[in-house]
Each structure stands twice: as C-alpha cells, then as structure tokens.
Amino acid sequence: MRLYFVFFLLLWPLMPLLAQLDTLQILDEVVVAATRQEKRLGNVAIPVQLIQRKQIQQAGSMRLRDILQEQPGLQLVTGFGAGLQMQGLSPEHTLILLDGQPLIGRTSGVLDLSRVSLSGIKRIEIIKGPSSSLYGSEAMAGVINLITDNGVKPQAEISLRYGVADTKRGWGIPFSSQNLEHTEADAQFSFRVGKWNVKQSNNYLYADAISYRPFSQDRVPRPLSRFASQSVVQGLIGKKIDLRVLTRLSQDLFRQQFSVQNNGVTTASFGRERNNEVVFQPALTYRHSASLTISTKAYITKYTGDQELRFSSPGDSIYKDRFEQRLYRLENQLDIKKGSTSIVAGLGVQLEQANSTRYDDFSNKKENSVRYAFAQWEVKLGHKWISVLGARFDHHTIYSAALTPKWALRYQPNARLSFKGSIGQGFKAPDFRQLFLNFTNTAAGGYSVFGAAQAIDVINSLNQLGQIAERKPDFLKLSALRPEFSTGANVEINYSFTVPITTQLSLFRNDINSLIDVRHVATRLDGSQLFSYLNVNRAFTQGIELAVRWQLYKSLSVNLGYQYLETADKEERSRIDQGKEYIRDVSGAIRLMNTNEYAGLPNRSKHQAQLKLTYEPAIDRFVNLRVFYRSRWTIANSNGNTVYDHYDEFANGFLQVNLSGGFSINSHLVFQAGIDNLLNYQDVFYQPNLQPRTVFVLVRLKMPVKRTSTIQQSKI
C-alpha cells in the first residue's frame, strides 16, 4: 500500500503545471446502474464512469470490446472471445447488463464482448466495486450497463464502416484477396406511431476473422458474420402508466481453423460455430406521484451455441457441441422519494435453465431458481454528505443463500473537492459448468473436466472399471460447491485546482473467499488428466487508479489514465512469507523464494496506462490519438514450483495506438477515417484476438424526421 502514497506524493507537485483542466466528468449526466434510480452523476456516492454516444462514435467503435479496451482500469483478456477484467478480478466476476438485465451465453465464464453490437446504445455505465447488493451474482468486480436509446428524437441514421488489414505486409490493400477485410453496416430509425415512440436498430458485420481460440498456432483468415437487430417501443397508457418493450435478436456465424497443444501434442482442427441470442424485455412503470413510482419488469432471454470441429482434413467429426441457456425473470421495484431521502426496494424471481452436450446428455435439462429481495436507503445529510445503505438476499435452490450488504458515503466540503467511499460484499454463485460439466476434449489430448456435483461418482465408476491410474490429493477435497464471496472497499478523491484542473484518484481492495478453482483430481491409465472444481482459494486484489483531464486550449484536450494492480493467492503468499516456497531462477539454482519475486494471480498486468489526445477545432471536426499500454502478465508456471513467479512464462507487455478523425460535410453527412493498432503489434499465442494494423473509413448519414408530437421519456 505504501507504493500508492509514494506515487501520489510524487505526482501532487506536478498538478498545477497541468493547466486549464475542465471537469473530468459532466456532473449533470444521469446514471441508473449505481442506485437503480436516475441520479445526477455529481450526486452519486459510488464510483461511476460514463461513456457517451459521442465518445463511441469518435473512436469509430461499433463493438463493445472496442470501446471498453480503451477505458482506464479495464483490461481485455483472451480466452473464448474477449473477456473483461475489472479491479484484477476475472471476467466471470463482472456482470454485463442491457438496460439493467443480464446478458447470458458465457463460455468458461467469459461473455465475448465482440459479439455485442453498440447499435442503438445511448451510453455505457461502468460501476466499479462489489454491486451484488443490487444485482446479485456475478457482480463481485462491478457492472457494465448498456443503456439503449428510447428513440425520443425522430430521425434516421445509416453508417457504413470498411476496414482492411494484412498480417504479413503490415499495410492492407483495399479489396485485395490477401487482406483481412471487414465491412460493418448499421441502420437506426426513430419514429412515432400515434402515441408511441419506436426505435429500430440493425447491424451487420462481415469480416475475415483470425484465431478465435487461445494458444492458436494458425493465422488463417476465416469468414465471420454477425447480425443484430434491436427494437424499442415506448408510450404512455393513460396519464401515469408507461409501457416500454425491448426486443433484441443476434446471430453469429464463423468458420474456424486452429491448433491446440496439450501435453506436447498438437492437434489441428477446423469447423464452424453458430451462436444465436433472443431478448424480450417488457416493463411497466406507474408514476403515482413525483415521490412514488412502481415498476414491474419481465425478462426473457435465450442463447444457443452450436460448434462442430473436425480434423485438419475433411473426415468424421471430432465432436459436436451444443449449448442452450434460458433465463426468465420477473421483478417488481418500488421507488420512494421524499425530501432528502430516497428508498428503493424490490422483489424478484428468476429461473435459469440449460441444456448442453457437455452436461451428460443434451436432453438432460439443468435448472436453478432464485428468489431475491433488495432494498437501498439513501439520505442527504445537509449539503455536504450523502449516505447510501443497501442489501440484497438471494435464495437459491441448488446451493446456499447469500446476503450481500453495502454502504457508500459521499462528502463534498466545497465545490472543488469531494470524497467517495464504499464497502460491500459481492458474490458469485457456481454456474452450471462448474456444477454439471461432463466433457472430454478429444480434440486436445483427451483430458476430461467434471462438474463438482458429479465428479466423485464419475471418477469412482471409472476406477471400478480399472481406468484410473491415480487419484490426486485434491480428489479427497471434492464436495458441494459454495458461492464465492468478496469484501470490497473503494475510495475515490476528486479535486479541481484553481486553474480548472480536475483529478480523480481511486484506491480499491477486494478480499475473496471460497474462490472456485479447477484442480487436477485424477489421471487415467493412458495419461490423460481429469479435472474438477473446488472451493480452495482465498485471494486479494488491490490497486490504485488515477485519471486526469487537461484542456490545453479550447480545442485541444489530454486525458491520462493509470492503474497499478497487486494480486495474490493468500495461501501462496503465506507460504512464501514463512520460507516454505522454493524457486528455480534463471541460473537453474533452487533456493528459497523472496516475496518480491512472487507474481501473484496469473493473467494480470501490474501496470496499465492510457493517453488520449483530442483536437476539436469546430463542433463538426475532430482528430484523436489514443494510446494504451499494458505491462507483461504471467501465462504459465514453467519452473516447477507451485506458484507464479518472475521466472515463469510471461506474455510481453505491449503498446497499442489508435488514430481517428472525422468531419461533417454538411448537416447530414459525416466522414470518418482512422487506423487501429497503428504500430501493428501482434502476438499470435497470447493476443490472438488483437487484429493487425487496420485502416478504416466510415460514412454516417443522418436524416432528421419532423416531430409531430411529444412524449415523456421513461426511466430505464
């Protein structure tokens, strides 16, 4: 922790030199996810970051992964798509929401952000720190909430983006057969039908994708197509009841060719994958008065994934994999506002179902139901203090219940200085994969993974058949899985200097208990390994985040961001401190390990930084340069001990530079061009989803529609 204060003390004298900063955030912006109520950003006691539509468009981003990878404190990690790491916690610990409801369809805990189109998205809210007191499971690290556009302003907008890249020459030639090309079209229409607002958004992407699995040795272009359609219908029923219905459809189809290494054996495969998603989300809001609102929301979503893999030459299928997940939710929420006090309370019921060829048999349906209740009390104490106290109780049918409280406090002694602090619990329930998986990967050496609910019976049956050579010590630890719990604390300081300079300093700490981990529990006679899941680890993540905005001139601004991260498995750290852990250094010598040689949890970078320069000489012209740095991170334990240290295998740190600029030809037509990954950094093994240098052009046509009447915009 002392490193945090040294860093801050070194930086503090330099602050006045960063002259003429405007505000880091627009405090009048409205956020929803932090409290489940519409609140001005300046009045929220919880750390929140907003990404507005303008920022998304200026970056040329049309996919969720593209815009999130540029945000301070967020790291994209590779593995079954692009996952999000927040405050050092894994992708499975961050909840991704669409208008407050969870997106499903994770693979090994990762929700692939590449599949989420930003078409029809008005803004993105990022809540850092445990948020289970409002949102339940998976919100241990935080929440990403996508807010859809209600279509209150009638207009039509059509965008076309074309990009070209080349993995070998560095610069692609448009429409060449040797290039990686992508074409993305987006059409959005807002109009009125009687008393109803209608917003229709459609997006289609066709691209030459490369290497959609980790540790791939092949960089063979394969066609990828993604289609998404979203509709929002909103209107008033009478004077006090608002009805809003959202539907969303998406489909992904891509072909694959990749190699997987397991126990020194390389298996080359090719095949296809198809994913489909359907969302139906109706909501009724009754505004009894300015102080009382009652809302009822239903949520129905279904995700289906099909995959077929074959050997490198056409022949019999290695395996066909099918996964289907369904989620049904009904929730009622009460909002009360009276004077300086506001209360949010709600009840809900949820049913989750899944069928998979990896769960025994596809016809064998797995399900879990949840009943939950939440409440939050917020009070303003004079003009300087805001206190928020909340809790949620989740009762599950297949594992123990969870109670997750949270307390947040905001103190603003004057207009230039504010403090935010929060402490709360988060939890993540075991998912179907960790409970019921029964999968043998014949495409990668024949290893097997069994869910904790059936691992003992399956392995004992194999042992009776004489197929087990060894049962590991962790086999004796197999038992019913418990939810993972974390206690997280966040402190945020915002300060505006005399010359309008605004800085934001954040400290965070997360202590995780009962962390679910994959362990080697047995070995077959043929040497193939058997794995299962255990509640074994206690871990922590802690760090510091710094954000600065510098308005050099009226038309030129600089944004700086930095994160320092420390992580550790507490049991491993204890063994090192007690002198019980050994290390093999670069000379081959074996000796006791020093604490400063411990690398912490794998796949985490200690340093991350962002720099953004924006030049806007006029309201209809801009150029921005965006630079991102991520330091090295551990990949594999390669020196024979049981922990990750400085002599293990690391992925190299890298620098990525993106450039974008645009101007309006007239009030309806916008032209934009840019280069993603300007330095053409590529890492075939550890960053397979990072596309090579890509030059793109984008044309956007806006056509306003004459408004015939007005309608009140509802809350999300």
Higher pLDDT, 167 or 211: 167
Task: Break the chain into its structural domains and give their ranges.
Answer: 2-704
Looking at residue 6, its pLDDT comes to 38
Q: Given a cut of 90, is residue 261 above it in pLDDT?
A: no
Compute the distance between CA of residue 212 and CA of residue 256 in angstroms, rounded to an integer: 7
- Model confidence pLDDT, tens digit, residues 396-430: 888 778 999 999 999 999 988 999 999 999 999 99
Q: Are 190 and 197 in contact (CB under 8 A)?
A: yes
Looking at residue 644, its pLDDT comes to 87
Across 415-450, the runs of DSSP E, i.e. the strands, are 417-428, 438-441, 447-450
**Which residue bears the tokens 């049981």?**
642
Exposure string over 614-627, b if 16+ CB within 10 A, otherwise e: beeeeeeebbbbbb
Looking at residue 553, its pLDDT comes to 83
Compute the distance between CA of residue 478 and CA of residue 536 in angstroms, rounded to an integer: 10
pLDDT (average), residues 374-400:
92
Please name every residue paired with 622 in a beta bridge, in sequence order, or none if there are none.
662
Looking at residue 439, its pLDDT comes to 84
Q: Given a cut of 90, is residue 311 above it in pLDDT?
A: no
> What string of H, E and C letters represents the secondary structure of 386-407?
EEEEEEEEEEECCCCCEEEEEE
Look at the chain and count its residues.
716
Task: Select from 2.60.120.560, 3.30.230.10, 3.30.390.50, 2.40.170.20 the CATH code of 2-704.
Answer: 2.40.170.20
The pair of structure tokens assigned to 163 is: 């990009």
Most confident listed range (105-114, 324-333, 352-361, 705-714) = 324-333
- Taking the model in full, what pTM does it have? 0.88
- Model confidence pLDDT, tens digit, residues 627-636: 999 999 988 7
Compute the distance between CA of residue 233 and CA of residue 239 in angstroms, rounded to an integer: 17
Amino acid at 656: Q
H or E element in which residue 457 lies: helix 455-464
Torsion of CA 36, 244, 250, 354, to 10 degrees: 60
Q: Given a cut of 90, is residue 264 above it in pLDDT?
A: no
Tell me how crowded residue 438 is: count the other CB atoms within 10 A of its CB: 19
Compute the distance between CA of residue 343 and CA of residue 335 in angstroms, rounded to an integer: 6
Q: What is the DSSP letter of 213?
A: S
Looking at residue 146, its pLDDT comes to 94
Compute the distance between CA of residue 75 and CA of residue 90 in angstroms, rounded to an integer: 10
Compute the distance between CA of residue 348 and CA of residue 329 in angstroms, rounded to an integer: 7
Compute the distance between CA of residue 386 and CA of residue 39 in angstroms, rounded to an integer: 12
Compute the distance between CA of residue 253 and CA of residue 223 in angstroms, rounded to an integer: 8
Q: Given a cut of 70, is residue 27 above it in pLDDT?
A: no
Q: Are 427 and 372 in contact (CB under 8 A)?
A: no
Q: Are 513 and 486 in contact (CB under 8 A)?
A: yes
- Model confidence pLDDT, tens digit, residues 448-501: 899 988 899 999 999 999 999 988 888 888 888 889 999 999 999 999 876 667
Q: Given a cut of 80, is residue 33 above it in pLDDT?
A: no
pLDDT (average), residues 206-230:
69
Looking at residue 16, its pLDDT comes to 40
Compute the distance between CA of residue 290 and CA of residue 35 in angstroms, rounded to an integer: 18
Q: Given a cut of 60, is residue 378 above it in pLDDT?
A: yes
pLDDT (average), residues 551-570:
91
Q: Of the given ranges (141-150, 257-266, 342-351, 378-387), which has the lowest mean pLDDT?
A: 257-266
- Model confidence pLDDT, tens digit, residues 487-524: 999 999 999 876 667 899 999 999 999 988 888 889 99
pLDDT (average), residues 88-98:
93
Q: Phi and psi (nearest 5°) for 477?
A: -95, -5
pLDDT (average), residues 554-563:
92
Looking at residue 161, its pLDDT comes to 95
Please name every residue paired with 487 in a beta bridge, in sequence order, or none if there are none.
425, 511
pLDDT (average), residues 164-176:
73
Looking at residue 440, its pLDDT comes to 82
Tell me how crowded residue 586 is: count the other CB atoms within 10 A of its CB: 8
pLDDT band (50, 70, 90) for residue 257: low
Amino acid at 520: H
